[in-house]
Structure 1
């Protein structure tokens, strides 16, 4: 089974993100807007059971928190992705660090973890700069309360769907 961990933002953030994603993100139909906590990994049933127990132990001691999206940014020139950025990403980073241990630990991640909601990806450099200019006209001011995370699995057609949700209870 191919799994991943995410935070789904509020409906307002999802609506804003989707207004851009439907034109700029080839993965638009595969998954709703999200903040990735752990990119996809392949697990068997035994590992899934142990991972679920690990997530439950982390979320039992981690308190809900608030995040604020205040701007867009890009990973250019490393990759042509434009995204919604957080004013203070530290609460998400700390949660991600606590979750991504043991079976969920990444082997030498390719990039420094940056929590974000993707608006567009796989863009040409010209597209990226045009979109960045257009989106800079938008006011970005969304506040979300994060009180749960979601374990997703990838279906046979490549879409991602919720397997289990975990409330932050600390």
Structure 2
């Protein structure tokens, strides 16, 4: 089964992101607005149980924190993706590093982790540039408290749903 680990921002941020995602994000209907901490991967039952134990431990060592979104950015030309960018992504990066340790050390990757909330993906280049041009002139100012992270699994219908949430208790 496929599993992934994400953060969900509060309702205000999700509503704002969804106002763009509904038209521009091909994943709008299969997963709520989120920040990915660990990409989807296939786990067997043993890996899942080890992961849950590890995630429970990580959650007890870290305190809740706030994140601030302040602009729209893009991964173009690497991918036609628009996203809400963080003022200071360090707390999210630290959480990802804690999660992706021990039994969850990922395979080596050439991709640099950039914490973000996707608002558009798989867009045509013209659409991407038009929307990016309009949104980068907009005032973006959202703050949300991160007090938990979520282990998701992919359902048979192709959507993603939470298997377990891990409150930060440090």
Give TM-score, length-normalised by structure 2.
0.97
Are residues 1:123 and 2:129 paired? no
Extract unaligned runs of 5+ from structure 1: none
Corresponding residue for residue 94 of structure 2: 94
3-state secondary structure, aligned to 2:96:
helix
Q: Structure 1 length normalisation: TM-score?
A: 0.97
Structure 2: how far apart are the matches of 1:102 and 1:44?
A: 17
Structure 1 runs of 4+ off > 3 angstroms? none
Counterpart residue number, 1:7: 7
Q: CA deviation at 1:91?
A: 0.3
RMSD between aligned residues: 1.0
Unaligned 5+ runs, structure 2:
none
Aligned to 1:63: 63
Question: Does the 8 Å CA contact 1:6/1:36 hold for their aligned counterparts?
Answer: yes
Correspondence for 2:143: 143
- For 1:165 and 1:56, the matched residues in 2 are separated by 9
State the match for 1:54 in structure 2.
54
Q: Secondary structure at the match of 2:97?
A: helix
Cα offset for 1:109?
A: 2.4
Residue pair 1:38, 1:104 contacting (<8 A) in 2 also: no
Q: Which residue does the alignment assign to 2:153?
A: 153
- Give 1:108's aligned residue: 108
Q: Deviations over 1:61-94 (max 9, x none)?
A: 0011110001110011111100000000000001
Q: Secondary structure at the match of 1:80?
A: coil
Q: 1:110: Cα distance to partner?
A: 4.1
**Once the 2 structures are TM-superposed, how far is the Cα of residue 8 of structure 1 from its aligned partner?**
0.2
**How far apart are the structure 2 equivalents of 1:163 and 1:97?**
21
Distance 2:141 2:78 in 1: 26
Tell me the secondary structure at the aligned position of residue 149 of structure 1: strand
